[in-house]
Structure 1
């Protein structure tokens, strides 16, 4: 009996130890899982719904509900001007649509700069900022940068004419945005084309200055680089003498001493004899 008791006791202790070992392993596994879940939760970035396109849309198209959808977007990386709600995009009702100003690929965020206001078309009025005006400048292959200008580019404007009978070229405006080339306001065109006129966005004061400059001389455009943030002051001027390196000679007046003479007659001949002048 005593032997059986001892065996039963040892078996019970063994089972108890095994149970404790199993429970300890289970608890450790659960703790590791919880730690991994906490670490994963810490890496989760807060998101917000953002409207993106469901297909490639091009300049002039109307955006309907079928053309856009919402996806989760990291809150700290939402593009400026992106639409985040139905009420914001369709602010004047579901039937009042926005028009595409710039081509967007499938899945690209829809932003305010890429579409017009509700119910507006893609004309020039939708591109003009508050207080700004559209002004057309006549160009050709030379003055229009060989046809490489596109809406959305920025240009410097030079005036060539005559001032005080001197041929002069002067920088009169810098970093002026182009909003149309000929009758095209689509900034997505990639091929070069010789334009007859371009339309710029300027203030009313600049309109007056450009109109006067165009009436009294010739305007030429110089394309500004897309990443160029250099500030260039207007007023740079070159005339023909500077261009050719001609230096005007200074005329120095030399004052000669006065010469006094007396006349004497020698027979039939009159002779002038120089003498010292006296005041």
Structure 2
């Protein structure tokens, strides 16, 4: 009887130990799961509702409700001027539409600086940054890059004219402005279809650049050179070529004319009666 009791006690102790071991394992797994959940929760980024555009929009297009949708955007990377309410984009008290001021790509956040206020006209002044001015440059098929200029392109401006005077007068071509932005071609500040020969292009420049371009345009000819879309290379502004550099001619040396030596004349004064006369005589040192 005692043996049976001892055997039962041993079996009970074994079962109890196994249960404790299993319980300990389950508790450990539960703690690990809680730790992983807390770590994942800590990694969750706080977001904010932001409206983005559903298609690529060009300058001058009218913004419609189907052109925007709401997405969750990281709070730490919110762009300035975003919209978080559809009523802020399309107010209920007006049917006036907003107009796109700058190109917007699909799924890009809709910002206040890229659209007009409801009912506002998207004029040329809306494309000028603070402190910038619009200046028109006369162009033709050769100086205007054969009609391939578009609003938003960047160009380098070259001046060609005469410098010096007399025998030193020569034709010079000089780079006077770099990476100037075009904001209009002829009377269009929006998309220009195909190659069109423009008569004028309008650039956005500072007041100091306006003075330089106006002086250059009145004293010579201006030519434009199109800058590549992804070209961020800084070009030195002291590029200048004249006729002698272009043709490889040597500088002409101007020989000064010999000075004319004045002939020395010697005279003596003599009296002839009541008259005094000067008579020339050979000069002696």
Q: Which residue of 1 aligns with 2:242?
A: 239
Question: Match for residue 139 of structure 2?
Answer: 139
- Matching residue of 1:196: 199
Structure 1 position 32, deviation (Å): 2.2
Distance 1:255 1:239, change over 3 A: same
Match of 2:185 among 174, 181, 185: 181
Pick closer, same or farther for the CA change 1:154–1:68 going to 2, 3 Å.
same
Q: Secondary structure at the match of 1:108?
A: coil
Paired position in structure 1 for 2:60 = 60
- After TM superposition, list the pairs within 5 Å mapping 1:1-279 onto structure 2: 1-78=1-78, 80-81=79-80, 83-86=82-85, 90=89, 95=94, 97-112=97-112, 114-163=114-163, 164=165, 165-186=169-190, 191-225=194-228, 226-230=230-234, 232-233=236-237, 236-246=239-249, 247-253=251-257, 279=285
1:37/1:9 Cα in 2 relative to 1: closer, same or farther (>3 Å)?
same
Any idea what SS the aligned residue of 1:62 has? Answer: coil
Give the conservation status (yes or no) of the 8 Å contact 1:54–1:67: yes
Consecutive unaligned residues in structure 2, runs of 5 or more: 265-282
Structure 1, unaligned runs of 5 or more: 261-276
How far the C-alpha of 1:155 sits from its partner, in A, is: 1.8
Q: 1:255 to 1:134 in 2, by over 3 A?
A: closer
**Offset, 1:195:** 2.4
What's the TM-score once normalised by structure 2's chain length? 0.73
* Residues matched between the structures, number: 261
Give the secondary-structure state (helix, strand or coil) at the position aligned to 1:29: helix
The range that moved more, 49-58 or 111-120, is 111-120
Q: Per-residue deviation at 1:28?
A: 1.8
Partner residue, 1:265: none
- The secondary structure found in structure 1 opposite 2:13 is helix
